[in-house]
Chains A and B, each alone.
Chain A
Amino acid sequence: MTLLWIPLLSLIGSVISACTGKLSRNLSTSLTALAPLVALGITLYHAPAVLAGETIRYSLAWIPSIGLDLSLRLDGLSLLFMFMILGIGLLVILYTRYYLSANDSMAKLYSYLMLFMTAMLGIVMSNNVIQLWLFWELTSISSFLLISFWWHKSEARKGARMALAVTGAGGLALLAGLMLLGDIVGSYDLDVILASKAIIQSHDLYEVALVLVLLGAFTKSAQFPFHFWLPHAMAAPTPVSAYLHSATMVKAGIFLLARFYPALAGTETWFILVGLTGLTTLLFGAYIALFKHDLKGLLAYSTISHLGLITLLLGLDTELATVAAIFHIINHATFKASLFMAVGIIDHETGTRDMRKLNGMWRFLPYTATLAMVAAASMAGVPLLNGFLSKEMFFAETLHQQVLGSMSWLIPVLATIAGAFSVAYSARFIHDVFFNGDPIDLPRTPHEPPRYMRVPIEILVVICLLVGMFPHFMVGGILSAASSAVLGKAMPDYEVALWHGFNLPLLMSAMAVAGGLFIYINRKYLFQFQASLPPLNAKKTFERAVLSTISWCQLKISHIENGSLQRYLVVMLGVVLLCAGWPLFEMQELAGAMPRTPVDVHNAIGASLLIIGAIATVIWHRSRVVALLMISIVGLMVSVAFTRFSAPDLALTQLTVEVATVILLMLALFFLPQYTPKESSSLRILRDLSIASTLGVVVASICYALLTRPLNSISDFFIANAKTGGGGTNVVNVILVDFRGFDTLGEITVLGIAALGIFKVLSRIPLYMPASDGEGRPWARERHPILLANISHSLLPLALLVSAYIFLRGHNLPGGGFIAGLVTSIAFILQYMAHGSSWINERFGVNYRKIIASGIGIALFTGVGSWFFDKPFLTTWFDYFDIPFIGKTELASAIVFDLGVYLTVVGATLMILASLGNMTADTQRKEVNI
């Protein structure tokens, strides 16, 4: 449980520090530092057990159904990284306090830093690979926020975008790789994956998974050819560069390699891919670093080179190489973070990082200079410093490997050359900045920074020295714990010590130092040569790639999305055609085994009427009133078809809806043109006709195939249980109000929403009121014919009686809330037509929105009501009672639910029709009660 608190604390710290914007800088810093301090305490508390070889685990079920647990582990490797993340994090927090100017929001930077810390802790502590990936992405996002901290600078924004694009793309590859691994092993649990080396490496997809995981690691750790984002990430504030882009985040890729070492390493592919990538990066970074005039640029390429070194070590096929890799992770983090902080001080004090201007800083900043020189010497691999030890181990291991077969001797040679370059750029860093004459027009005259700004550097440099001189005492324990976690067994017998006698690695070190100094002294010629090469600007290339991708996408989008709805519809219908038509070709036989029903004369007449109506609608579609009449024939025939095929409920519903639809469309024609102009070209009509007929044929074929195949329905359950479980004999209605009552509740809600939407769309509409019909005839002066008015008077009570009857019998005989609601609505619409809306509003004055709301409310509360009887939502209750004069009667809660349906249907239908009708009636728009 205490394990969970480590990432949780830093997450809480992120929130806390975000709130410290109004407080003093010191208070803000102290509050921010609190969480990592406690987390470090917890880590230290667990350290003895882990150093003794134990792995502490903690797990919390999260989404067990997809194998995702919140699962943490703490082993030697995690412990090492946690020390770095929390320790250097604390130093960076202190350093930031003095680094940031008063104009920058310190709370924001702290909050991002803590968020990043959470993500990083999450990566190193995850015991579930998907969870690991989530935190991995979180580091990319927090790194994006941190690089773009000075968002007003274009280079910061571009650098941040580039970093996010590269590491984000790698993250996706990693996700794919991890999912493959999970699939191969059958679990996303890290313990299981790490223990399944044999299964993974014998699997066909091992190479694919390996490459995907490596892509993730290499992009994050800025390995060649994905290195280019790191120098541009230097647009971030220097504490961020020190923390993310040298000490921790770029090591996440290395961590990943180390973490999956037990499962993925050991094959030829691994050694070739990891080793060669590392070697290339090592050489490339070391070479380019020498030519960078920007101090942070030099350090960035140096970081790339050192990351390459660690990668190379992990790709060498000896066990001690892995130990050396871990050792170098520690050493690089200490000397590089301190160098970045020193550069931050120089930048802060002089206002520039250009080495052509910065000279002779020794006189101005003697104290900082000493610290920086020690760290730089460690970077170069000078004895008595930690960098020397791991580099020496590195040299020794290059001599023992067999990665390149007979050409393996190349690796130590190239390693020595890279070492020489690293000495050269370290020498340049020291000599150019602190000596080499006088500064050239500096923006500010430098002097020593505040006392506490140097403290983080001092601590790190002291660690460099102590580790360099007493390696076994300082890091022996953690090194052995971390190595055994990576290797999966105890660390090979090896003594990290300062002195191993006169041997080949020592000679290589000496050659590297001598060669480096030689390169530095003769740098003039190298610089000239480098300047004669064509310039390679990664940022411009990247930006160009981004821009061309965007414009290519825009071009493609404009091809598809040109703003024409007709065109979208054609595309969509085409997709429908493909999806629906394709399976037909795979079907052996269209007709199924069911015996056909013979065609009788009634059906033939009905079908021909339907077809004639449909085709007539199309033919006369430009004359809209005629088309409306034609389509109403179709609607009528559909309801006749429902009657014929034993579906009286449907027939009633269709009939009433048909009436409402025709009234609605008639009303609509009042506001719309009554004739459609002839616009479509013949070609367009041909295209549309072919799409329409093909789709018709496809649907007809599917329908025929469906109709001629035997039915295997689940309806027997409903038929068997309608009476006993739902208390009704009309199975359709019982399904609606009981079995599938929840669906019905959703449906009446949609109905209500549609009606409200219509009400909203119609409000404040700029009315277009035609004074005449489409042929120029004025409207009839008699708006409400007396005959209709009188008949409708007497019809209303009758219609309401019918509707009540249909409603009440609905549970047992065809009918129910939907149909009754529609009948009632039509009865009222007739009144509207006969008398006009003002007449209705005077007499009834109902608010249809309230009716809809009460309908949905009643239905909902009927459902909720069953909770009071410890039953699931919408459980029906019914029983039989003897009521005087009426006899034995069934009372069911379903009828209350059906009442809700009824009210919603009435409210929605009337609201739709009345709000439209109201506008035709009142030419001067009055506030009408809808």
Chain B
Amino acid sequence: MELLYASCVGVLVSCGVFLLLRARTFPVVLGLTMISYAVNLFLFSAGRLTINKAVVLGTGADYADPLPQALVLTAIVIGFAMTAFVVILAIRGRADLGSDHVDGHLVKNSAESKEQK
């Protein structure tokens, strides 16, 4: 089970990183989302894999580790806010630059923007 879980995290990281390295904004956002899944699962695994254990006091003798869960819970919400921010930034970039390339290449004045660099 542990091996399977770790492989899932690994696959998510690989796919996320590959998408992260693409040149257009939308795949990058997908990559970030994927990596945040992986990170959340990884953090969650710090409490080890616990199947059918109690989470609410008084419902069992053996409890799942609540601390990673609490940490991951807020991480999920913050992750959403950050994904949203990146998405909106991508939309703004598209609107301002006319292109959704991550390096912000201007479609018309690409020669000029190269000069500025």
A residues less than 8 Å from B117 (CB atoms): 562-563
Residues of chain A with a CB closer than 8 A to B87's CB: 664-665, 668
Do the beta carbons of A657 and B34 come within 8 Å of each other? no
Q: Is A898 part of the binding interface, using a Cβ–Cβ cutoff of 8 Å?
A: no
B10 and chain A: residue at smallest CB distance: A700
Contacts of A615 in B (CB 8 A): 11, 15
> Inside 8 A of A747's CB, which chain B residues have their CB?
74, 77-78
Quote the shortest CB–CB distance from B58 to chain A (angstroms).
6
User: By the criterion CB–CB under 8 Å, are A672 and B5 in contact?
Assistant: no
Do the beta carbons of A657 and B4 come within 8 Å of each other? Answer: no
Contact residue among A650, A668, A688 (Cβ-Cβ distance under 8 Å from B72): A650
**B55–A597 touching, CB < 8 Å:** no
Cβ-defined contact, A689 with B67, below 8 A: no
Residues of A within 8 A of B103 (CB): 563-566
Q: Would you call A723 an interface residue if the criterion is a C-beta within 8 Å of the partner chain's C-beta atoms?
A: yes
B55 touching A648, Cβ below 8 Å: yes
Q: CB-nearest residue of chain B relative to A731?
A: B66
Q: For B81, list chain A residues within 8 Å (CB).
A: 750-751, 754-755, 908, 912
Q: Nearest chain-B residue to A758 (Cβ)?
A: B88
Question: How many Å lie between the Cα of A380 and that of B66 in the bound state?
Answer: 84
Q: Are A762 and B92 in contact (CB under 8 A)?
A: yes
Distance of A303 Cα from B47 Cα, bound (Å)? 71
Given contacts A653-B76, A715-B65, contact A631 B10 (CB under 8 A): no
Write the nearest CB–CB distance from A805 to chain B, whole angstroms.
16
The answer to whether B55 touches A730 (Cβ under 8 A) is yes
Provide the B27-56 mask, 1 if CB < 8 A to any CB of A, else 0: 101100110011011101111111111111
Is B73 within 8 A of A653, CB to CB?
yes
Q: Is the CB of B40 within 8 A of A638?
A: yes
Identify the stretch in A250-258, A480-488, A812-820 within 8 Å (CB) of chain B at 4 or more residues: A812-820
Q: Given A565-B102, A672-B90, A692-B21, A744 and B74 touching (CB < 8 A)?
A: yes
| Measured CA separation A701–B63 after assembly (Å) | 26
Report Cα–Cα, A694/B61, bound state, in Å.
Answer: 41
Q: Of B37, B73, B78, which is within 8 A of A635 by CB? A: B37
Q: A765–B47 contact, CB under 8 A?
A: no
Q: In this assembly, does A713 line the interface, its C-beta being within 8 Å of a C-beta of chain B?
A: yes
Inter-subunit contact B91/A569 (CB<8 Å): no
- Collect the chain A residues with CB atoms within 8 Å of residue B73's CB: 649-650, 653, 732, 736, 818
A143 in contact (CB, < 8 A): no
Q: Which residue of B lies closest to A700 (CB)?
A: B10
Within 8 Å CB of A669, what residues of B? 26
Please state if A634 and B34 are interface contacts (CB–CB under 8 Å).
yes
| Chain A min CB distance to B11 (Å) | 5
B108 to chain A, nearest CB (A): 14
In the assembled complex, the Cα of A594 lies from the Cα of B7 at a distance in Å of: 18
Contact flags B78-96 to A (C-beta < 8 A → 1, else 0): 1111111101111110111
> Which chain A residues border B45 with CB–CB below 8 Å?
703, 706-707
Q: Which of A886-930 contact B (CB under 8 A)?
A: 905, 908-909, 912, 916
- When the two chains form their complex, are residues A732 and B66 in contact, meaning their CB atoms are under 8 A apart? yes
- In-complex Cβ contact of A729 among B12, B56, B69 (8 A): B56
Q: Closest residue to A685 on the B side, CB-wise?
A: B18
Complex formed: what's the CA distance from A680 to B20 in Å?
13
Is the Cβ of A700 less than 8 Å from the Cβ of B6?
yes
Check A735 for interface membership: any CB of B closer than 8 A. Answer: yes
Interface centre among A569, A618, A645, A688 (most CB of B within 10 A): A645
- CB neighbors of B among A596-645 (8 A): 596-600, 603-604, 607, 610-611, 614-615, 617-618, 621-622, 624, 627-628, 631, 634-635, 638, 641-642, 644-645
What distance in Å separates the Cβ of A628 from its nearest Cβ neighbour in chain B?
7
14 additional contacts (CB under 8 A) given A624-B27, A813-B56, A909-B80: A611-B7, A621-B22, A634-B37, A638-B41, A647-B64, A653-B77, A664-B84, A664-B87, A668-B91, A672-B90, A688-B18, A751-B81, A905-B77, A912-B84
Docked-complex contact B4 and A754, CB < 8 angstroms: no
- Which residues from chain B contact A689 at a C-beta distance below 8 Å? 18
Can you name 7 A-B residue pairings with CB atoms under 8 Å?
A573-B20, A607-B5, A645-B64, A647-B72, A669-B26, A691-B21, A754-B85
- In the bound complex, CA of A621 to CA of B8 (Å): 19
In angstroms, Cα B80 to Cα A905, docked, is: 11
Task: Confirm or deny: A588 has a beta carbon within 8 angstroms of a beta carbon on chain B.
Answer: no
List B contacts of A765 (CB < 8 A).
91-92, 95-96
Please list the 3 inter-chain residue pairs (A to B) with the smallest Cβ-Cβ separation, ordered nearest first.
A700-B10, A696-B14, A704-B6
- Residues of B close to A594: CB separation below 8 A: 2, 48
User: Is A699 on the interface with B (CB-CB < 8 A)?
Assistant: yes
Bound state CA distance, A646 and B44, in angstroms? Answer: 11
Q: Is the CB of B66 within 8 A of A718?
A: yes
Compute how far the CA of A87 lies from the CA of B40 in the bound complex, rounded to whole angstroms: 68
Given contacts A689-B18, A704-B3, contact A661 B80 (CB under 8 A): yes
Q: How far is the CB of A763 from chain B (nearest CB, A)?
A: 10
> What range describes how many residues of B lie at the interface?
35 or more
Output the least CB separation between B86 and chain A (Å): 10
A564–B98 CA distance with the chains assembled, in angstroms:
17
- Give Cα A818 to B46, complex, Å: 22
Question: Residue on B with the closest CB to A916?
Answer: B88
A159 nearest CB across to chain B (Å): 34
B17 lies within 8 A of A695 (CB) = yes
- Count of residues in A whose CB is under 8 Å from the partner chain: 114
Chain B residues lying within 8 Å of A912, measured Cβ to Cβ, are 81, 84, 88
**Complex: how many Å from CA A635 to CA B30?**
11
Query: Contact partner of B14 among A603, A627, A695, CB < 8 A?
Result: A695
B112 to chain A, nearest CB (A): 13
A638 touching B37 in the complex, CB below 8 Å, given contacts A563-B117, A644-B51: yes
Q: Nearest chain-B residue to A671 (Cβ)?
A: B91
Q: Please, which residue of chain A has its CB at the minimum distance from the CB of B58?
A: A729
Provide the bound-state CA to CA distance between A702 and B65, in Å. Answer: 19
A920 to chain B, nearest CB (A): 11
Q: Does A767 contact B (CB under 8 A)?
A: yes
Residues of B within 8 A of A649 (CB): 55, 69, 73
A664 touches B8 (CB 8 A): no
Tell me whether A597 and B13 are in contact in the complex, defined as CB-CB below 8 angstroms, given that A566-B21, A707-B49, A718-B67 are known contacts: no
Interface centre among B22, B27, B80 (most CB of A within 10 A): B80
Q: Digit string of A718-755 for contact with B (CB within 8 Å is 1, else 0)?
A: 11001100000111100110001001100100110011
When distances are taken between beta carbons in the complex, the residues of chain B under 8 Å from A814 are 55-56
Chain A residues closer than 8 Å to B70, beta-carbon distance:
732, 735-736, 740
A66 within 8 A of B: no
Q: How many angstroms from the CA of A90 to the CA of B25 in the assembled complex?
A: 66
Cβ contact within 8 Å between A707 and B5:
yes
Are A661 and B21 closer than 8 Å at their CB atoms?
no
CA distance A722 to B66 in the complex (A): 11
How far, in angstroms, from A610 to B40 measured CA to CA in the complex? Answer: 14
Cα distance A767–B14 in the bound complex, in angstroms: 35
Contact of A631 among B4, B30, B41, B98 (CB under 8 A): B30
B5 touches A703 (CB 8 A): yes
Q: How far is the CA of A911 from the CA of B34 in the complex (A)?
A: 24
Residue of B16, B52, B74 ringed by the most chain A CB atoms within 10 A? B74
B1 lies within 8 A of chain A by Cβ: yes
Most buried by A among B7, B26, B57, B73: B73
Find chain A residues with CB under 8 A from B94 CB. 671-672, 768
Contact status B33-A603, CB under 8 Å: no
**Cα distance A635–B87 in the bound complex, in angstroms:** 17
Q: Which residue of A lies closest to B75 (CB)?
A: A747
Instruction: List residues of A (567-613) whose CB comes within 8 Å of B's CBs.
Output: 569-570, 573, 594, 596-600, 603-604, 607, 610-611
Does A660 touch B at the CB level, under 8 Å?
Answer: yes
Q: How far is the CB of A700 from chain B (nearest CB, A)?
A: 3
A715 touches B30 (CB 8 A): no
Residue pair B22, A676 in contact (C-beta under 8 Å): yes
In the complex, A646→B55 CA distance in Å? Answer: 7
Mask: chain A, 35-67; 1 = CB below 8 Å from B; 0 = not: 000000000000000000000000000000000
* Bound Cα distance from A722 to B69, whole angstroms: 15
Give bound CA distance, A695 to B63, whole Å.
33
Q: In chain B, what residue has the closest Cβ to A595? A: B2
